[in-house]
Amino acid sequence: MKYQGSCHCGQIAFEVEGEIPEVMSCNCSMCQRKGTLMWFVPRSSMRLLTARDKMSTYTFNKHVIKHYFCPTCGIHPFGEGASPTGQEMAAINVRSLEDIDLSTLTIRHYNGREV
């Protein structure tokens, strides 16, 4: 299935294709504050519709994940990093996708405070 995603004001827009088997709720200092529910996909499954210079980036801790956010509205629609095997990945905040019924998602909790 193909999903459309964006920040609140629409300055950051993207498409992502795939099935959502589960999402991850992380309790690290960043994710807990943002309230993200992340769906991890190969980076090749996401097509960015916005020029990168229209986005801002934040990294913290080990600086291995780039957390992208909109400098206008502040919403964090996705991040980029690599899997443990080195595959380029996107962490899609499913809350930024259109037509998602959050009550139907399987949520896996991850203890990011102990990593």
At 43, is the pLDDT very low, low, confident or very high (cuts 50, 70, 90)? Answer: very high
pLDDT at 62: 77
Domain boundaries, the chain: 2-114
Spatial distance between the Cα atoms of 21 and 42, rounded to a whole number of angstroms = 14
pLDDT at 115: 64
Q: Which two tokens stand for residue 42?
A: 């190969």
pLDDT at 61: 78
113 — phi, psi (to 5°)? Answer: -75, -20
| 79: nearest Cα among 54, 59, 102 | 59
pLDDT at 47: 98
Q: Which residue has the tokens 């509205």?
A: 73
> Quick check: 77 pLDDT over 80?
yes
pLDDT at 64: 79
At 56, is the pLDDT very low, low, confident or very high (cuts 50, 70, 90)? Answer: very high
pLDDT at 67: 93
> Quick check: 63 pLDDT over 80?
no
CATH number, span 2-114: 2.170.150.70
Tell me if residue 60 falls in helix, strand or coil: coil
CA angle 105, 19, 50 (to 5 degrees): 100
The 23-26 sheet, strands edge to edge: 56-58, 66-69, 78-82, 88-93, 38-42, 23-26, 107-110
Mean pLDDT, the chain, integer: 94
pLDDT digits (tens, 9 = 90+) for 100-109: 999 999 999 9
| 36: nearest Cα among 88, 82, 86, 97 | 97
